[in-house]
Amino acid sequence: MEISELKTNQCVIIGITGRLDTTNYSILEKKLMDLIEAHNDKILVDCAKMDYVSSSGLRILLMALKKITMAKGKFVLCSLQENIREIFEISGFTNIFEIYATQDEALKVF
Amino acid sequence: MPIRFPKFSFFRGLAFRYSLFFTISIMIILFFPLVIAYASSSVLLLLKAQKEATILTEQTITEFENVLQPTELVPKILGQAMENPNISYVEVLRIARDFVYHDPVVFGTCLAFEPYEYSKGNYWYAPYAFEKNGKLNTRILGSADYDYFKKDWYRLPKLLGKPVWTEPYFDEGGGDTLMCTYSTPIYRVINGKRLFTGVLTMDVSLSGFERMVKNINIFKTGYGFLVSGKGRIITSPKSVMNNQNILNLAKVGGGRETMVAIRSMLEGKSGFNEMDGFEAKKNPSFLSYAPVAQTGWSFGIIFPEDELYDDLYTFLKFMSWMFGISIVILMFTTIMITRRMTRPIVRLVAATHNIGQGDFHAKLPVRKSKDEIAQLTNAFSVMQDHLRSYVLNLQETTIAKEKIESELSVAHSIQMGMLPRGFNTPANWELYATLDPAKAVGGDLYDFFYLGPDHLCIAIGDVAGKGVPASLFMMVTRTLLRAKAIAGIPISEVMQSINHELCQDNPNEMFVTFFAAIVDLKTGEMDFCNAGHNYPYIVGPGEDIRQLKARGGLPLGVNETMNYTSEKFCFKPREILVLTTDGITDALNTSNDFFGEPKLASTLAAMANKNTKGLTDSLIIELKRFSLGAEQADDITILALQYKNSSETNAQPMQTFQLKLKNHLSELDNIAVNLENLSEKWNFPAKIVMEINLVLEELFTNVVFYAFDDKEEHEIDLSFMLVDAHQLQMRLEDDGKPFNLLEKKVKDVFDKPLEERQIGGLGIHFVREMMNSVDYQRSGNKNIVILTKNF
């Protein structure tokens, strides 16, 4: 898994490439928690290139959502691949997360 | 649970409430007579006081007049006498002096003459006699210093030509005392003419009146006073008032009413008036007054209003005390009486309290009288007896019931234990059966067993009735089936034989609807006989569903001579035979609707692509959803048998792949890589690969994290098996702690708000959602999870 980070005026865009699973979720966890501790409370996670996620990965996303919601910030996801979207649906996370089809659409909410 | 009585408080008790009620009632009842008595008393008192004051006024005035009458009469007679020329002045003077000496109030007399009238040499001549220390002294008045011609007592009678009472004055050089003078003009007739020659006076000392006025007592501080025609106070017991103008005094303390009263008094009227203050006293008072005849004086009596009512107030105070004491006594008495009356109730409460706590032998208080409380006590006594026998009965019944229940539960475990469970599924076949009893012991049964290597006997039945008898009948039927079924014998003959046995000794006229079949596992051919049971369903792939509507005869145990016939059926690949009992179609929901045959058919059709377990489980879930918690009325039994595609399996021998893993997370990559390879080799779609990968990761991670308490290395076996072209089976084995993931609840993943969600159950939720079936076994020291995925 690779993680890219792009800071714009509106928010921080995190891009995930490859598999987000039990072996590597802690990398994403550290990245997101560092951002949140540095008071970046507007985060967009672009999942366009993420082709696998396990419950460990979902846990990190949920943690980030909880923390940012408490800080009254905004945490959104975009560009989920079809099979990833299915996993989100099975887990019921589509009701919890704000998910947009494209990055452009997502950026409008900040 | 101990029974709690509300805490008793004195203020909520009958005694307090009754006495309070009585007291308040009596206070209200007595209040009005008291007020009326007070009002009428005060009116009567006022009338009485008015009468008394008027009488006293009149009496006093009469006394004054008695005293004054001689004072007026004597000078009048002497004056007339002096008009007679034969009577000398000296004579008159002597009589007058005699009068002064004997009269109690008159203390002096003077005969004053006009200038030079008495003798040519004297301008003034006025011989004056006055009493002092019991002696009569004489003095001649008149000088430049004492010019009596200018005094009122001389001037006024001369001017008016009639006797006059003077205003009180202090006669300096004359009587040397505060006095009033009655002065009569004296005339002499000379040459037929009546000429004024002087005056004869009688001096009245006011100290005499003072004594009389001082003696007047009315109420506590009531007093009398004498006032002259011009308003000067002649005498009163209050020295400050003496010689003052009464109008000034009235202005000091009084208002309009006082002025009205005083003016009326000075006008010479008599009456009884109320005053709103007089002199220094501002409090209301009463004034009774009347004129003293001819003198122009008036006499008045003043007494304060509050003194008039003093006695009444004292009486009222006394009455109030008496009233208060009576109320206290009344309250006390009522409390005592009520307590006495409620004492048996209190005792009864204590006794019933004990009964309530479970002491059915608690002694109730004994009442000798036949009053309501005695009746209540009797009623309680009867209730206590009934309760006692009822509880005794209940205890016996409960013990008996518990005994039966424990026996029933033993019967249930025997019955359930008889049902075949672990089953070595023959190649190309899949079988699954379940029985969910309505009561502890039911009348449903299913069975399956091999008849030699190539034949399988399956059966389902429903004994009419429930409970232990039905269960026993069912066991007999099953035993008979196992004994009679032999490969090569048509099932109809087996049924006939069972029917014969069951009819032999069936005093209770019990019967069982029964479906039995012998399946040739090689050819897929089935020889079946339906003895009055529900028609079985054949669920084919692609929602193709139909019923086997062949009747082989009446239910078993009804007619001994019944001939049963059998039918043949040949399984096509992937077809499932579904046997059910009427517990499914007759299931009720809370609105009393049946699940029914059409719904069963449509439900089964919708699950055509599932395996036997998936189909059975889904049907039961659908049934539970339909009944919405309504109580399950009948046993629910399902047996499903599927024939797999023999040609496919034959053409493609079962392919397996084994993977030995260490309990380390890095093995996840290993799993992913091998799965990728397998998917290419065995040709399953990419979507499935990801789902399988996810499920395996969740399960494997679970094992790595939670299965082992030690830090040692363990081996985890993962095997893949391609059952057919559309079904993959995976087996994950570990030697960790027992963990049945099927028992784990995942409900809270969805029901709770975001903040409370547990992430832990999510992995297991994925496993259940993404696999077609999940099985768990604990075998030896191993956890075995078997996953099936259709594609």
Render A26-82 in DSSP notation, one character per residue. Answer: HHHHHHHHHHHHTT--EEEEEEEEEEEE-HHHHHHHHHHHHHHHHTT-EEEEE---H
Helix (H, G, I), strand (E, B) or coil at B393: helix
Please answer yes or no on whether A56 and B672 come within 8 Å at the CB atom.
no
A96 touches chain B (CB under 8 A): yes
Helix (H, G, I), strand (E, B) or coil at B109: strand
| A88: closest chain B residue by CA | B766
Chain A residues in contact with B663 by the CB 8 A cut-off are none
Q: How far apart are CA B203 and CA B174, in angstroms?
A: 10
CA distances (Å), origin B111, targets B92, B104, B255, B431: 9, 20, 46, 167
A31-86 tens-digit pLDDT: 999 999 888 889 999 999 998 898 888 888 988 998 898 888 999 999 999 889 98
Query: Chain B interface residues facing chain A, Cβ-Cβ under 8 Å?
Result: 665-666, 668-669, 672, 686-687, 690-691, 693-694, 697-698, 701, 749-750, 754-755, 757, 759, 762-763, 765-766, 769-770
CA distances (Å), origin B765, targets A95, B495, B623, B668, B762: 16, 46, 22, 20, 5
* Interaxial angle between packed helices A82-91 and B760-770, expressed in degrees from 0 to 180 and rounded to the nearest 10: 110
Predicted ipTM? 0.81
**Which of A56, A59, A92 lies at the smallest CB-CB distance from B750?**
A92
* The dihedral formed by the CA atoms of B625, B628, B631 and B634, expressed in degrees to the nearest 10: -30
Q: How far apart are CA B254 and CA B289, in angstroms?
A: 17
∠ CA B550-B566-B482, rounded to 5°? 120
Q: How far apart are CA B330 and CA B353, in angstroms?
A: 33
- Is there a common fold for B83-204 and B209-308? yes
DSSP string, B618-659: HHHHHHHHHHTTPPP-S-EEEEEEEE--HHHHHHSPPEEEEE
Chain A residues in contact with B697 by the CB 8 A cut-off are 21-22, 54
What residue segments make up the domains of chain B, in order of their start? 83-204, 209-308, 419-648, 652-790
Please answer yes or no on whether A83 and B762 come within 8 Å at the CB atom.
no
Please answer yes or no on whether B672 and A91 come within 8 Å at the CB atom.
no
A26 touches chain B (CB under 8 A): no
Chain A residues in contact with B763 by the CB 8 A cut-off are 54-55
Please answer yes or no on whether A92 and B759 come within 8 Å at the CB atom.
no
* The dihedral formed by the CA atoms of B160, B165, B167 and B168, expressed in degrees to the nearest 10: 150
- Cβ neighbors of B736 (< 8 A, separation 6 or more) are B703, B706, B707, B708, B714, B783
Domains of chain A, first to last: 2-104 (3.30.750.24)
Chain A residues in contact with B668 by the CB 8 A cut-off are 21-23
Residue for token digits 């547990």? B758
The alpha-carbon gap from B697 to the nearest alpha carbon of chain A, in Å, equals 7
Which of B762, B768, B770 is most worth mutating to test chain A (most A CB atoms within 10 A of its CB)? B762
Report the greatest alpha carbon distance in chain B: 199
Please answer yes or no on whether B687 and A83 come within 8 Å at the CB atom.
yes
Based on its alpha-carbon atoms, the radius of gyration of chain B, rounded to whole angstroms, reads 69
The alpha-carbon gap from B765 to the nearest alpha carbon of chain A, in Å, equals 7
Please answer yes or no on whether A55 and B754 come within 8 Å at the CB atom.
no
B481-518 tens-digit pLDDT: 988 888 778 899 999 999 998 888 787 788 899 999 99
Q: How far apart are CA B480 and CA B494, in angstroms?
A: 9
Please answer yes or no on whether A22 and B672 come within 8 Å at the CB atom.
no
In the DSSP assignment, the letter for residue B468 is: H
Query: CA nearest B385: which of B363, B405, B404, B416?
Result: B363
Q: What is the separation of C-alpha B91 from the centre of its chain, rounded to a whole number of angstroms?
A: 109
Q: How far apart are CA B49 and CA B628, in angstroms?
A: 97
Residue for token digits 């002694």? B363
CATH architecture designation of domain B209-308: 2-Layer Sandwich (3.30)
Helix (H, G, I), strand (E, B) or coil at B25: helix
Chain A residues in contact with B701 by the CB 8 A cut-off are 22, 54, 56
Which of B694, B768, B771 is most worth mutating to test chain A (most A CB atoms within 10 A of its CB)? B694
Q: How far apart are CA B600 and CA B605, in angstroms?
A: 9
Task: State the first-to-last Cα distance of chain B, in angstroms, to the nearest integer.
Answer: 60
Q: What is the pLDDT of residue B8?
A: 67
Helix (H, G, I), strand (E, B) or coil at B505: coil
Residue for token digits 């996670």? A45
A33 touches chain B (CB under 8 A): no
Topology of B419-648 in CATH? Phosphatase 2c; domain 1 (3.60.40)
A110 touches chain B (CB under 8 A): no
Chain A residues in contact with B672 by the CB 8 A cut-off are 19
Residue pair A3/A16 in contact (Cβ under 8 Å)? The answer is: yes
Residue pair A98/A76 in contact (Cβ under 8 Å)? The answer is: yes
Topology of B83-204 in CATH? Beta-Lactamase (3.30.450)
A positions 5-24 inside 8 Å of B (CB): 19, 21-23
Residue for token digits 């040739």? B520
A52 touches chain B (CB under 8 A): yes
Residue ranges in chain B whose pLDDT is less than 50: 1-2, 647-652, 755
Query: How many CB contacts within 8 angstroms connect chain A with chain B?
Result: 55
Q: Does domain B652-790 have CATH number 3.30.300.30?
A: no
Please answer yes or no on whether A21 and B697 come within 8 Å at the CB atom.
yes
Please answer yes or no on whether A54 and B669 come within 8 Å at the CB atom.
no
